[in-house]
Amino acid sequence: MLGATGMANNAHHVVTGAAGVNDATRPVLDGFAISGGHAADNGGGMYNNNLGNFGPRLSNLEFRYNRVVSPGTGTGGALYNNLSNLLVNKVTFLQNLAPNGGAVHDEGGSSTYTQIEFSENRAIGVQGLNDVSLGAALYSTNSNTSSFERVFFYQNDSTGSGGGAAIVNASPRFTNAVFNGNHGTIYGGALYIFGNSGPQLIHATLYGNSSSGGSTDGGKIYQEPGTTPGLGMVNSLLAANETLNGYTVPSNQGNVTGFNPGQFTQQFFPKGCDQIAFTADDGYRLRTTATTALDMGVMGLSGFTLPGTDILGVTRPSGAAPDPGAYEGGFAAGCLPPV
Ligand SMILES: [Ca+2]
Ligand SMILES: [Ca+2]
| Residue 140 falls inside a structural domain | yes
Q: Longest Cα pair distance anywhere in the chain, in angstroms? A: 57
Q: Residue range 285-301: average pLDDT?
A: 97
| Peptide bond just before 229 cis, omega within 30 deg | yes
Q: What is the pLDDT of residues 119-140, one digit of tens each?
A: 999 999 765 554 568 999 999 9
Q: 286: CA distance to ligand 2 center in Å?
A: 10
Whole-number pLDDT of residue 130: 45
| Residue 298 falls inside a structural domain | no
Contact (Cβ atoms closer than 8 angstroms) between residue 171 and residue 197: yes
Neighbouring C-beta atoms of residue 54, cutoff 10 Å: 20
| Residue 265 falls inside a structural domain | no
| Residue 185 falls inside a structural domain | yes
Query: What are the start-end ranges of the E strands in 209-250?
Result: 210-211, 221-223, 232-234, 237-239, 244-245
Q: 92: CA distance to ligand 2 center in Å?
A: 29
Contact (Cβ atoms closer than 8 angstroms) between residue 38 and residue 63: no
By DSSP bridging, strand 237-239 and strand 210-211 are unpaired
Q: Which ligand is nearest to the CA of 291?
A: 2
| Residue 331 falls inside a structural domain | no
Contact (Cβ atoms closer than 8 angstroms) between residue 151 and residue 177: yes
pLDDT above 80: residue 85: yes
Q: 327: CA distance to ligand 1 center in Å?
A: 12
Give ion ligand 2 contacts, CB < 5 A.
Answer: 295, 317-319, 323
Residue 121's nearest CA partner among 176, 45, 213 is 45
| Residue 147 falls inside a structural domain | yes
Q: 274: CA distance to ligand 1 center in Å?
A: 5
| Residue 72 falls inside a structural domain | yes
| Residue 77 falls inside a structural domain | yes
Helix (H) or strand (E) holding 98: strand 97-98
Total domains present in the chain: 1
Share of the chain above pLDDT 70, in %: 91
Which residues form the domain of 70?
Answer: 7-260
Whole-number pLDDT of residue 243: 77
Q: What is the pLDDT of residues 311-337, one digit of tens each?
A: 999 999 999 999 999 999 999 998 876
Q: 317: CA distance to ligand 2 center in Å?
A: 5
